[in-house]
A and B are shown apart, each in its own frame.
Chain A
Amino acid sequence: MNWLSDNVNLLSLIGAAAIIIITGFVAGKYIKQMKTDKSTGELTGDDWDGIGEYKNPLPMGWAIMFLLTTIWAIWYFLAGYPLNAYSQIGEYNEEVQAYNDRFESKWSNADKETLKQMGKGVFFVQCAPCHGITGDGINGKAQDLTAWATEDFIVHTIVNGTKGSNYPLGEMPAGLLDEESAKAVAAYMVEKISKTGQSKNPDLVATGEALWATCSACHGEDGKGMEGSAPDLTTYGHAEFVVEVLNRGKVGVIGNMPAFNDGRLTGIQKQAVGEYILSLTE
């Protein structure tokens, strides 16, 4: 009898047995009383269809409890409830505040791998409905993130232009350079501006540097975007760039991506989802 070793089960059983026994005794007592008792005492004189009422004084304990409860009720109605009612919103605010503080202190120095794992969860909830579970953009319905922010994608951006994130400089026009020159600029950008690693075409870096003037008109000599007039390309290919996209949203050629600036994601979560989607191109 394994389940008897559980305290709660044992106590419940003992309790149940006690209740049955006590019920038996009490019921027995009253049944006997009903058989033998005769009614005596003074009646109040009220008569409800043949049923009368004894003049019994209130039991003292009961009367005191009744009075106390009444006093408490008056206090509760007039002051207790109206003045310091429980607030679900208040409790929510406190809980969330405490949670966010803990979250912040626990993950503020998280490494890339941890962020990536966290970002994966965020991605499935917030981004997958549009970008697809694998991030492929569901047949062109949103940006294909498995091919985004790569060197080839920079070429694609230069040739086709881009728009929709509401920068003061507006759109980046299509056809700034032909495909060959674009490749060179992309090589230069990868190695010298955004510094995401080795270019596929290292021999083109020098050519790209010479052509960078086309871009510096808007993005600045250093690629930093001239104080917010255009995107800061030194962050391109890093999570910071994704955070910027999330803060701004994008009404582009493919479709309309809403901004994530209503507090659903914390800064760390945005960073995390950035790390995750950038890992999709690897």
Chain B
Amino acid sequence: MFHWLEKNPFFFAVGVFVVIAYAGIVEILPDFAERARPVEGRKPYTVLQLAGRDVYIKDSCNACHSQLIRPFKSETDRYGMYSLSGEFAYDRPFLWGSKRTGPDLMRVGNYRTTDWHENHMLDPTSIVPGSIMPAYKHMFNNVADIETAYAEAYTVKKVFNVPYDQPDMPKLGTWDEAQKAVLEEAKPIVEAMKSQEVKEAYARGEIKEIVAIIAYLNSLK
């Protein structure tokens, strides 16, 4: 019946493609159409949070930490509600990670706070005896790269229509407005911190990396 197919590699390849593509349509497209949409109430990251996210990537936190809670009771007991694909809609790139040397951080904002992070990032073993997480003292010196974060947000807004500047969504605005907004957002975090160095830098209008990454970690909910 399909004898002629065997003699026509081109049409044979087309046939194979159609069969496999059908499986793709059934399995992948419904997810694209529905489940990968942002879940209700999900908002894109603010510029300060994005700057913190960049620090997270730069310092390879994702080498040791996952951000994906699987639907197993043992995980939801410890970390909270399992992850939905729509929760990653604004993650570019996503930071699911592949290895848990440390705990999952998908919802760490629910159960850790600014002051805890400050102590922990400065010296993990001072809080968790025997912790093998490295200390990130340099984050208290380095200044966060707000400009790149703004450029990132601006780009995804223009290219992917990420809903900045829409009702109930984070405001992006112009570069000047964004800088003001970042300082405003950083304020409560700096106030909750103890480090004199960070506070002085803030008074000069500088935002240290530690402030940005705490803003990011607090936003993980």
**9 A-B contacts, Cβ less than 8 Å apart?**
A77-B22, A82-B30, A92-B72, A99-B73, A129-B116, A255-B116, A258-B110, A262-B107, A264-B80
| 8 Å CB interface, B34-57 against A | none
Q: Nearest CB to that of B116 among chain A residues?
A: A130
For A138, what are the chain B residues with a Cβ–Cβ distance below 8 Å? Answer: 126-127
| 8 Å CB interface, A233-272 against B | 255-258, 260, 262-264
**Count, chain B residues at interface, CB 8 A:** 29
Is A65 an interface position by the 8 A CB rule?
no
- Chain A contact residues, CB within 8 Å of chain B: 77, 81-82, 88-89, 92, 95-96, 99, 125-126, 129-130, 133, 138-139, 141, 255-258, 260, 262-264
Residue pair B72, A126 in contact (C-beta under 8 Å): no
Residue pair A92, B113 in contact (C-beta under 8 Å): no
Q: Nearest CB to that of B30 among chain A residues?
A: A82
Q: Nearest CB to that of B127 among chain A residues?
A: A138
| 8 Å CB interface, B13-34 against A | 22-23, 26-27, 30
Residue pair A89, B71 in contact (C-beta under 8 Å): yes
- Give me 6 other A-B pairs in contact (C-beta within 8 A), A130-B116, A133-B129, A141-B127 excluded: A81-B27, A92-B73, A92-B82, A96-B76, A99-B73, A139-B126
Q: Nearest CB to that of A249 among chain B residues?
A: B113
- Chain B contact residues, CB within 8 Å of chain A: 22-23, 26-27, 30, 71-73, 76-82, 107, 110-116, 119, 126-129, 192
For B107, what are the chain A residues with a Cβ–Cβ distance below 8 Å? Answer: 262
Residue pair A264, B129 in contact (C-beta under 8 Å): no
For A262, what are the chain B residues with a Cβ–Cβ distance below 8 Å? Answer: 80-81, 107, 110
A249 to chain B, nearest CB (A): 9
Q: Which of A141, A255, A257, A264 contacts B78 (CB 8 A)?
A: A264
In whole angstroms, how far apart are the Cα atoms of A96 and B72 in the complex? 9
**Contact A256-B115, Cβ < 8 Å, known A92-B72, A92-B73, A264-B78:** yes
In whole angstroms, how far apart are the Cα atoms of A61 and B81 in the complex? 51
Residue pair B80, A263 in contact (C-beta under 8 Å): yes
In whole angstroms, how far apart are the Cα atoms of A257 and B192 in the complex? 12
Q: Which of A77, A139, A258, A260 contacts B112 (CB 8 A)?
A: A258
A210 to chain B, nearest CB (A): 40
Q: Which of B27, B76, B113, B129 contacts A258 (CB 8 A)?
A: B113
A211 to chain B, nearest CB (A): 35
In whole angstroms, how far apart are the Cα atoms of A88 and B69 in the complex? 13
In whole angstroms, how far apart are the Cα atoms of A160 and B77 in the complex? 36
For B27, what are the chain A residues with a Cβ–Cβ distance below 8 Å? Answer: 81
Q: Nearest CB to that of A139 among chain B residues?
A: B126
Residue pair B26, A81 in contact (C-beta under 8 Å): yes
Residue pair B26, A82 in contact (C-beta under 8 Å): yes
Q: Nearest CB to that of A89 among chain B residues?
A: B71
In whole angstroms, how far apart are the Cα atoms of A256 and B116 in the complex? 8
Q: Which 7 A-B pairs have the closest CB atoms?
A: A92-B71, A256-B113, A255-B115, A262-B110, A258-B111, A262-B80, A264-B80
A96 to chain B, nearest CB (A): 6
Q: Nearest CB to that of B111 among chain A residues?
A: A258
For A130, what are the chain B residues with a Cβ–Cβ distance below 8 Å? Answer: 116, 127
Q: Nearest CB to that of B126 among chain A residues?
A: A138
For B26, what are the chain A residues with a Cβ–Cβ distance below 8 Å? Answer: 77, 81-82
For B111, what are the chain A residues with a Cβ–Cβ distance below 8 Å? Answer: 126, 258, 260, 264
For A139, what are the chain B residues with a Cβ–Cβ distance below 8 Å? Answer: 126
For B80, what are the chain A residues with a Cβ–Cβ distance below 8 Å? Answer: 262-264
For B113, what are the chain A residues with a Cβ–Cβ distance below 8 Å? Answer: 255-258
Q: Nearest CB to that of A260 among chain B residues?
A: B111
In whole angstroms, how far apart are the Cα atoms of A125 and B113 in the complex? 16
For A95, what are the chain B residues with a Cβ–Cβ distance below 8 Å? Answer: 73
